[in-house]
Structure 1
Amino acid sequence: MKLLVDIGNTAIKFAILNRQKKIIVFLIMSSHELVAEKNFRQKITTALSKINCNLTDLTLLALLSVRPMWDDLIYQLTLDLKIPFYQVKKNLLTDRLITDIPNPRNLGADLIVGSYATLNLFPKQDVILVNMGTVTTISLLKPGILLGTIIMPGLEISAEALFERAQLLQKFDFSYENVILGKNTKQAINIGLVNGHLLAITGFVNQLASEVSKPQVILTGGNADYIKKLVNYHYDKDLIFHGLVAILQDNNLI
């Protein structure tokens, strides 16, 4: 079995690719939890046991990371388990994805992997990829070519900034409001945060759609839950892992 690890800015996700080539996400922890190596190992072991697996079943580890501070901890795990270690932007080739940007070396690993997933999902279609993570990115792709990306603060980052700077506003679990104007503070904030984020995304998507031919819009990321039922986009919660698997396949590791 292959262990797939996605270290994001906010969360760290662990998945396995089992013998039937099925992706199973078995553990999600916040990034700040990855502090003690002992605790980290125990969390993985416990989570694997719940899907009837253990560490000795693993034959390879593939890492996607945007937090280099944790990379060595993951690498050490592979040394202890004596299994091969592969990392996007380190020792995995992604030649099938062409980038139409001046300095592709600065391209984030998450953007590379997400874009790579679209090559397998919609190989002959133009794609607009919306990734609602810590930041929200909206990328435009022609078949096999990443044309560029829009980056804006993620929904939760925007909420944190609002509550931190406006001290009289209380934190709460925000959600979409099916109204134009708020009649109380909570409703008004929801409209500004969630509805506003939705309007920004759909506005950018519509703008980008005019640049290509009948694009497929894909939605992913942890914050996509807030809007996935409000848009007619193809939703894929495990898109990053699908991209990581596609890269492993292209490197003849699966």
Structure 2
Amino acid sequence: MILAVDIGNTNIKAAVFEDTVLVEKFVFVKSNASDEAEKIFQKYTKITHSILSSVGKEQESLFLILKEKTRLLEVNHDFKFPFQNNYGTPATLGIDRMVLAAGAVLQFPGCNRLVIDAGTCVTYDFVDSSNIYPGGAISPGLRLRYEGMHTFTAKLPLLYPEMPQNFIGSSTATSMHSGVVNGLLYELEGFIAQYKQQYQDVTIILTGGDADFLAKRLKNTIFANSNFLLESLNFLYLYTIKK
């Protein structure tokens, strides 16, 4: 069994895999990382390997547990990814974005792929059919948009994502919901349209914490998979040990 661990900006996500099958997923806060990891190993005693990626501050105690109990593979910028990285500043490219690009290559071979990760930030990562990664885009996610309006204005309240019933807001709250949610949906549709205009047969993968919330309103045909990063870590591990 393989344990895939993703240390994000907000939470830690982990999943136990049996070959390519996701057996169980876990989400926990960073302060509970050690205790939660121990619980996973107690429940799944057959875990022998692990893979870790991190965009946040590395959790030393979690790292030590994984290193003690498994054969640990830590993903970093020196990792051998299954694509050619043509990003202008490769040392600044987030590990999570590289893992998502790798997952797209390994799970959707031979086509153009656009991975959209709708989390704290929304990241767009493109890999063409020749497995060349030129880059993408980054914008604020739903939560950041709500928090930004509340923090940098005097009177706008702090709201949480809610699907607007009408694009015309009839109150401050409904106007904010329309601006944030519809604004992001229009952004997503616009980016997707641009890629499809320039490239043929683009496979769109939508993932991240807000993927399911947004997927219901997108007009384009997409693969919505909130577990895509964890699955990509697992595929990357299998790819690496086979190589």
Q: Same fold (TM over 0.5)?
A: yes
Aligned pair 1:120/2:83, yes or no?
no
| One-letter identity of the residue aligned with 1:59 | T
Distance 1:21 1:214 in 2: 26
The CA RMSD measured in Å over matched residues stands at 2.1
Mean Cα displacement is larger for which, 204-213 or 71-80?
Answer: 71-80
Deviation of 1:112 (Å): 0.8
1:3 aligns with 3
Give the alignment partner of residue 139 of structure 1, picking from 100, 118, 125. Answer: 125
1:163 aligns with 150
Deviations 1:209-229 (A, max 9, x none): 211112111110102232111
| One-letter identity of the residue aligned with 1:106 | T
Give the alignment partner of residue 199 of structure 2, picking from 212, 215, 223. Answer: 212
Change (3 A) 1:40 1:215: closer
Question: Runs of 4+ in structure 1 displaced over 6 angstroms?
Answer: none
Deviations 1:116-174 (A, max 9, x none): 11112221111121110111011222121212111111111111111122342222333
Change (3 A) 1:229 1:106: same
Change (3 A) 1:155 1:173: closer
1:223 aligns with 210
Equivalent position SS for 2:210: helix
Q: Decide whether the 8 Å contact of 1:14 with 1:26 is kept in 2.
A: yes
1:175 aligns with 162
Aligned pair 1:234/2:239, yes or no?
no
Deviations 1:161-202 (A, max 9, x none): 111223422223332224231111111000111111111111
Give the alignment partner of residue 55 of structure 2, picking from 66, 78, 81. Answer: 66
Distance 2:67 2:167 in 1: 55
Distance 1:167 1:194 in 2: 21
Change (3 A) 1:107 1:5: same
Deviation of 1:105 (Å): 2.8
Q: Decide whether the 8 Å contact of 1:26 with 1:47 is kept in 2.
A: no
Equivalent position SS for 2:156: coil
1:109 aligns with 95
Equivalent position SS for 2:199: coil
| One-letter identity of the residue aligned with 1:113 | V
Give the alignment partner of residue 135 of structure 2, picking from 136, 148, 152. Answer: 148
Distance 2:66 2:169 in 1: 52
Q: Structure 2 length as normaliser, TM-score?
A: 0.89
1:43 aligns with 36
Mean Cα displacement is larger for which, 101-110 or 127-136?
Answer: 101-110
Aligned pair 1:244/2:243, yes or no?
no
Distance 2:111 2:77 in 1: 29
Q: Decide whether the 8 Å contact of 1:128 with 1:217 is kept in 2.
A: yes
Runs (5+) with no aligned partner, structure 1: none
Deviation of 1:47 (Å): 5.4
Runs (5+) with no aligned partner, structure 2: none
Q: Structure 1 length as normaliser, TM-score?
A: 0.86
| One-letter identity of the residue aligned with 1:159 | Y
Q: Percent of aligned positions with the same letter in both sequences? A: 23
